[in-house]
Chains A and B, each alone.
Chain A
């Protein structure tokens, strides 16, 4: 089955630094990828939709200048958390629909801790 690989699986960074998270579709091309954030004991919250070759679409309340998304190729989308603060500590997950846009496959998630 289709596989989406997300890296890193966990990261600890200092407040004020930036962190880049990669999401790769390994055996299919994904023109669209989704980025979610999940706080402890809460549901997945869609942050933005990453579109290959064009600007990402951000959900209401998500700062596009803080969460930079780049989808430079059909198999790679990146999320950069800029000037991270402790309140950005969360579980970030990407997903990509398969070619038929029927089913979404998830990356393994990245647990970000900002200290």
Chain B
């Protein structure tokens, strides 16, 4: 079983829509959680950390559910510039595990 499972999509949504991505992780000892954004032909860049209490940054909301072992990313009022691949990542000790990435295309 993979450490992190993520729906690869693709998600094609109209501008202004709300879209949500989920990742499930298998290791209950996972300590920290992140969402990264990767644009085509670029390295992934940290979008936001995911805290137990949930956290929000503008149009982006990240949540962690330890009981069910999943993390989520919600994007409200989607912009064309949100089109990218979104990867979740978990950290267990000094090991980092990525999901396969979810492709998002925001359509005008």
Contact = CB atoms under 8 A, between A and B. Distances in A.
B61 interface: no
Interface in A30-87: 32, 34, 42-44, 46, 49
B32 A43 contact: no
B108 interface: no
B99 A43 contact: yes
Contacts, number: 47
Contacts of A97: 91, 94, 96
- The residue in A93, A101, A108, A109 that gathers the most chain B C-beta atoms within 10 A of its C-beta is A101
Contact of B91 (A6, A101, A106, A107): A101
A93 B94 contact: no
28 contacts: A6-B43, A42-B100, A43-B98, A43-B99, A43-B100, A44-B44, A44-B98, A44-B101, A49-B95, A91-B41, A95-B96, A97-B94, A97-B96, A101-B94, A102-B32, A102-B91, A103-B32, A103-B34, A103-B46, A103-B91, A104-B34, A106-B43, A106-B44, A106-B45, A107-B43, A109-B42, A109-B43, A111-B41
Interface of A: 6, 32, 34, 42-44, 46, 49, 91, 93, 95, 97, 101-104, 106-109, 111
Size bracket, chain B contacts: 20 to 34
Contacts of A46: 98
